[in-house]
């Protein structure tokens, strides 16, 4: 019997599908990586299992950070498994290749990324030839069992999904082309003067950053101006009311800060106040009813903006919560949507949702749901139900499933969505707005009153929202007005000019940045108009959170409170791109056009070939501009430092690459300068000022070695006798110089605990914690102990209390900010005293998911039996070839056993030489064994002396030395 393979995006979705299908398709048996019954095999990916890469013949390995091999525009892309999920990929491919599996169903998330995840797995499973099995698409926008069963009853065809598949591949390839070529080209440009300055750019990431930088530039250039408002209090027979002067003839002009109620001199403001003080005023007023409709239903971006504004949730947090409410709790519909409307046939479901809410027992929500049902609020409306505004997904609304066991954050987000869903069906809020003009000729004063007549949808948000008057300001809007009789003259009781200052534009918060990405930087406040602009936005609702997080990770931006602040590195990148005239990466609206073209491709209105040709042309142009730029510096808006030159006292100015002395007025520059981005970390202007003032700064994080490894260091400015000038140096706080010179150390801090080697006191010393017998002291001039451990290990600061804990109990708490020098990923570990190795080592927390007993042995046995069976069937030559081919990689992976001397440093496990070099470097870095004067020289401690056979070795000697210690490798 033939079967259909269903591939979901995540294991939890696969389980939901099995639960939904069991009543209609029969019971499933659970296997290690899949579920199976007579009709279906259900398995899942865990996100992306395969990624694109340049084919071997076009892949640049050596010299990829130079212009020599750029641009890289391969005619096609190969696939490579994502390393950490390789076993899952193999399990999915195994099911796809089964002979009894004759059809596939793509059940990955409904959207561009879900389409790509499946398509790449299918392509990889086919290998050189296409898999050749028909594919159907399961399109789920709700995760309830009934919605899943309905989805299986309305599977989409391959032809229906072709546009989305093309757009998914094109997005992936375009990001690869722009990201790889742009990053390599800008890194090559910035590393021309030596060093390695990684400069990442991206098709969507960089234009998003440009929005933040441009806003910050406006803030920095903003010059505040003084202005005055004239506030008055008038007395009528019924009481007093406030008012504010305005010019009824004022019209908007070129001055963006001008307003009808502002005057620009204190004298003019005082003159107006003096002219009306104590006088009587005539009154005219106009009252009219106004309505305020509820906001539209949520799409992902508007939900992220609202949650950021109300609760301070980051876009990433909101997406994770919404995904959990959709996937785990089945309480919300699909969250990664850009639509704010529902399908026109969804009215019955909306009514059922209100019925569920009315009966749910959620006391804060149920009464409003009941009100809507009793008053027949749930009825057709083009504002809510509109097929033309629903693309792949509809708006985020609650499902028919009442949730339970929500976390506090999940509950907040769920309530936000439910209230918005209910509000959109409720009547508009009704106000009476009264505009009163009090005139003391020739001066006019305005008062506005806004009274809520019927709360309508505001009732759902309670008293707080009902009392809140849109646009209300101190003294001129929002108040209940005392009545004035027709023809009554009122008295000017008080009038005061109020001095104020114009304010710069606000920095982006995550909420406002998401809005700017949505409209490609165009300032659009109107909900409906912003919706029309969405197709030209930066990224998609599903990717915007990741783009913002990526900019934060790369230190292009910092998150301070709710503000997004660009760093010096961001300004330097924008200066470079503008100087090179690479507009496409600087202007959000141009990149918004690319996104629009992808959405056209999804609809079958644009060919993949045409789009990719444009991306290739953009890539070539970007690389050409960087490669051919021949001027010394890039034009830009550069700073002048406040601190003087340490050498001659002259003025220090910034240029593209350096901070350089330009001399005292009328004098020549003295030649002092220092690079803006030593080891790939760019100085903020304030840091450069502090460095000149104090001659040192730090320790600072974020530096990278030439090999790309991250490190932390202090920076100092020292006088160089040979150059007769000051120069910048890294200071790792290495205490070897003092130790080797025999200079006596006096400890001033309290002891942290007993040394695990000799029992003596352990103290702070420079950048390390050391045993008092490991350095020369008055009591013991010749060191006799070797205990030393860094205060910062792999970028993780080790606080005094943690070292005390290690000395008392043998290990620290679980620390979570280590950064692997090999993978550059963060990891968590305890620091623990390793008695056998005689040093502080990492101890990792046990996995939450231990392997099942016997699972490994079972797998090995199974593989061995299969290999044996295959060898019997195959001709002898082929079997031998297969065996040789299979053995070769295993041999390389197994490596060689290290010598006893090397094992004392890197452990006993067999390793290949490259892995041994990496482990050796981790040891060197952890123990601060690089010579401070020449980082390419490693100063041997006792263990390394046994490996090197001498007191020091050059970094380029390491591979050769280690080869002699690896079983003759």
> Taking residues 744-752, what's their average pLDDT?
82
Residue-level pLDDT at 476: 45
Residue 707, judged by CB atoms within 10 A of its CB (0-12, 13-18, 19+), counts as: exposed
What pLDDT does 858 receive?
40
Higher per-residue confidence, 788 vs 446: 446
The pLDDT value given to residue 820: 66
Under the banding of pLDDT at 50, 70 and 90, the label for residue 269 is very high
Higher-confidence position of 355 and 586:
355
pLDDT at 531: 55
Among candidate residues 767, 782, 806, the one with its CA nearest the CA of residue 928: 767
The active-site residue out of 334, 414, 508, 923 is: 334
- Check whether 847 has a pLDDT greater than 80: no
Nearest to 716 by CA among 740, 737, 732: 732
Q: What is the pLDDT of residues 872-885, one digit of tens each?
A: 344 443 333 433 33
Tally the residues of the chain.
969
Structure confidence at residue 741 as a pLDDT band (50, 70, 90): very low
Mean pLDDT calculated for residue range 787-812: 87
Asked whether residue 463 carries a pLDDT value surpassing 60, the answer given is no
Scanning the structure block, which residue is given the tokens 């742009």?
A: 182
Q: Indicate the average pLDDT of the chain.
A: 85
**Minimum mean pLDDT range among 19-23, 293-297, 420-424, 918-922:** 918-922
More confident residue, 633 or 609: 609
Asked, as a colleague might, if the bond just before 442 is cis with ω within 30 of 0, I would say yes
Rounded distance, CA 921 to CA 557, Å? 30
Predicted pLDDT at 737: 44
- As a whole number, mean pLDDT of residues 138-149 equals 87
Q: What is the pLDDT of residues 55-80, one digit of tens each?
A: 888 887 777 888 888 899 999 999 99
**Residues 273-279: what's their mean pLDDT?**
94
d(CA 421, CA 414): 11
Higher pLDDT, 350 or 765: 350
Q: What is the pLDDT of residue 945?
A: 85
- pLDDT (mean) for 225-231: 96
* pLDDT band, very low/low/confident/very high, at 317 (cuts 50, 70, 90): very high
What pLDDT does residue 923 have? 82
Band (707; pLDDT cuts 50, 70, 90): low
pLDDT per residue over 145-172, tens digit each?
A: 888 999 999 999 999 999 999 999 999 9
If one compares 678 and 701, the residue with the highest pLDDT of the two is 678
Of 39-48, 248-257, 388-397, 661-670, where does mean pLDDT reach its minimum?
A: 388-397
Question: Average pLDDT of 396-420?
Answer: 94
- Could you tell me if 775 and 783 are in contact, meaning their C-beta atoms sit under 8 angstroms apart? yes
Give, in degrees to the nearest 5, the angle at Cα 707 between 702 and 710: 20
Higher pLDDT, 825 or 338: 338
Q: What is the pLDDT of residue 303?
A: 96
DSSP string, 559-627: EETTEEEE-HHHHHHHHHHHHTT-GGGT-HHHHHHHHHHHHHHHTTSS-HHHHHHHHHHHHHHHHHHHH
Percent of the chain scoring above 90 in pLDDT: 49
Mean pLDDT over residues 761-774, rounded?
86
More confident residue, 851 or 605: 605
* pLDDT for the residue 302: 93
- How high is the pLDDT of residue 548? 93
For 519-534, what is each residue's pLDDT tens digit? 876 655 555 545 555 6
* Catalytic residue flag (residue 241): no
Give the single-character DSSP code of 822.
T
Asked if residue 455 has pLDDT above 60, the reply is yes
Asked, as a colleague might, if the bond just before 904 is cis with ω within 30 of 0, I would say no
Which residue has better confidence, 765 or 615? 615
**Quick one: average pLDDT of 705-712?**
68
**pLDDT the model gives residue 849:** 47
Report, as an integer, the average pLDDT of 483-487: 91
Average of pLDDT values for 334-348? 89
Contacts of 195 (CB under 8 A, 6+ apart): 675, 677, 678, 679, 680, 706
Chain position carrying tokens 């202090």: 714
pLDDT top residue among 453 and 880 = 453
242 Cβ neighbours under 8 A, 6+ residues apart: 231, 232, 233, 234, 447, 475, 476, 479
Q: Which of 131-135, 584-588, 850-854 is the most confident on average?
A: 131-135
């Amino acid at each position: 019997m033939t079967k259909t393979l269903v591939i979901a995006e995540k294991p939890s979705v696969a389980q939901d599908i099995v639960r939904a299908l069991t009543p209609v398709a029969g019971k499933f048996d659970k296997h290690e990586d899949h579920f199976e019954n007579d009709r279906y095999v259900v398995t899942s990916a865990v996100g992306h299992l395969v990624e694109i890469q340049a084919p071997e013949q076009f892949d640049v390995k050596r010299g990829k950070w130079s212009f020599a091999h750029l641009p890289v525009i391969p005619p096609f892309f190969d696939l490579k498994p994502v390393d950490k999920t390789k076993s899952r990929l193999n399990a999915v491919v195994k099911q796809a290749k089964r002979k009894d599996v004759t059809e596939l169903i793509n059940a990955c998330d409904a959207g561009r990324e879900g389409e790509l995840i499946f398509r790449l797995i299918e392509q990889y499973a086919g290998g050189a030839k296409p898999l050749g099995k028909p594919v159907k698409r399961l399109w789920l926008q709700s995760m309830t069992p009934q919605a899943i069963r309905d989805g299986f009853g309305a599977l989409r065809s391959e032809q229906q999904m072709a546009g989305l598949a093309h757009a998914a591949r094109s997005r992936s390839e375009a990001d690869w082309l722009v990201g790889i070529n742009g990053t390599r080209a800008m890194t090559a440009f910035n590393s021309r003067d030596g060093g390695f300055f990684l400069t990442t750019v991206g098709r969507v990431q960089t234009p998003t950053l440009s929005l933040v930088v441009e806003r910050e530039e406006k803030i920095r250039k903003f010059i505040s101006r003084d202005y005055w408002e004239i506030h008055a209090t008038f007395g009528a027979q019924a009481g007093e009311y406030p008012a504010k002067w305005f010019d009824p003839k004022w019209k908007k002009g070129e001055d963006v800060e001008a307003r009808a109620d502002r005057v620009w001199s204190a004298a003019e403001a005082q003159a107006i106040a003096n002219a009306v003080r104590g006088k009587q005023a005539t009154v005219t007023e106009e009252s009219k009813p106004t309505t305020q409709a509820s906001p539209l239903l949520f799409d992902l971006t508007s939900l992220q903006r609202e949650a950021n504004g109300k609760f301070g949730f980051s876009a990433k947090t909101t997406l994770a919560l919404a995904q959990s409410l959709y996937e785990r709790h089945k309480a919300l519909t699909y969250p990664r949507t850009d639509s704010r409307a529902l399908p026109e046939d969804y009215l019955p479901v909306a009514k059922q949702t209100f019925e569920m809410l009315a009966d749910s027992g959620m006391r804060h929500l149920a009464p409003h749901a009941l009100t809507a049902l009793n008053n027949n609020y749930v009825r057709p409306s083009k504002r809510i139900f509109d097929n033309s505004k629903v693309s792949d997904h509809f708006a985020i609304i609650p499902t028919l499933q009442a949730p339970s066991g929500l976390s506090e954050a999940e509950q907040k987000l769920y309530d936000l969505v439910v209230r918005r869903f209910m509000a959109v069906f409720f009547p508009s809020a009704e106000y009476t707005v009264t505009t009163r003009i009090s005139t003391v000729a020739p001066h006019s004063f305005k008062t506005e009153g806004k009274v809520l007549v019927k709360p309508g949808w505001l009732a759902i948000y309670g008293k707080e929202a009902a009392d809140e008057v849109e646009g209300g300001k101190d003294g001129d809007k929002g108040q209940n007005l005392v009545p004035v009789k027709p023809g009554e003259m009122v008295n000017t009781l008080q009038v005061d000019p109020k001095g104020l200052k114009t304010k710069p534009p606000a920095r982006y918060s995550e909420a406002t940045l998401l809005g700017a990405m949505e409209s490609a930087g165009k300032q659009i406040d109107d909900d409906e108009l912003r919706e029309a602009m969405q197709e030209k936005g930066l990224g998609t609702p599903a990717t915007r959170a990741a783009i913002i997080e990526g900019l934060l990770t790369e230190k292009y931006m910092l998150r301070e409170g709710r503000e997004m602040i660009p760093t010096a590195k961001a300004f330097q990148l924008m200066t470079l791109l503008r100087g090179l005239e690479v507009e496409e990466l600087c202007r959000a609206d141009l990149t918004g056009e690319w996104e629009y073209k992808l959405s056209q491709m999804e609809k079958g209105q644009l060919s993949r070939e045409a789009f990719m040709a444009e991306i290739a042309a953009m890539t070539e142009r970007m690389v050409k501009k960087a490669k051919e730029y021949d001027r010394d510096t890039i034009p830009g808006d550069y700073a002048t430092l406040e601190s003087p030159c340490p050498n001659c006292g002259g003025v220090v100015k910034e240029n593209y690459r350096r901070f350089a002395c330009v001399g005292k007025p009328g004098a020549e520059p003295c030649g002092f300068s220092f690079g803006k981005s030593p080891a790939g970390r760019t100085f903020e202007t304030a840091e450069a000022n502090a460095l000149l003032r104090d001659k040192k700064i730090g320790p600072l994080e974020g530096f990278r070695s030439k090999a790309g490894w991250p490190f932390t260091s202090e920076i100092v400015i020292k006088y160089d006798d040979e150059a007769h000038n000051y120069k910048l140096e890294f200071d790792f706080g290495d205490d070897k110089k003092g130790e080797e010179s025999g200079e006596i150390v006096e400890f001033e801090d309290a002891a942290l605990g007993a040394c695990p080697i000799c029992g003596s006191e352990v103290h702070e010393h420079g950048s390390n914690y050391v045993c008092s017998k490991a350095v020369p002291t008055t009591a013991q001039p010749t060191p006799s102990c070797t205990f030393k451990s860094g205060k910062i290990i792999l970028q993780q600061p080790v606080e005094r209390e943690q070292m005390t804990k290690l000395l008392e109990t043998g290990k620290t708490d679980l620390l979570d900010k280590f950064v692997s020098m090999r993978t550059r990923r963060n990891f968590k570990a305890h620091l623990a005293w390793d008695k056998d190795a005689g040093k502080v080592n990492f101890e990792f927390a046990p996995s939450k998911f231990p392997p099942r007993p016997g699972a490994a042995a079972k797998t090995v046995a199974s593989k061995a039996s299969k290999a044996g069976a295959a060898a019997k069937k195959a001709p002898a030559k082929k079997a031998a070839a297969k065996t040789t081919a299979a053995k070769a990689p295993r041999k390389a992976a197994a490596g060689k056993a290290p010598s006893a001397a090397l094992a004392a440093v890197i452990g006993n496990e067999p390793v290949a030489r490259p892995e041994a070099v990496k482990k050796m470097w981790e040891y060197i870095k952890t123990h601060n064994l690089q010579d401070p004067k020449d980082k390419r020289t490693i100063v041997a401690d006792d263990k390394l002396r046994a490996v090197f056979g001498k007191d020091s070795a050059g970094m380029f000697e390491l591979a050769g030395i280690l080869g002699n210690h690896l079983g003759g490798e």
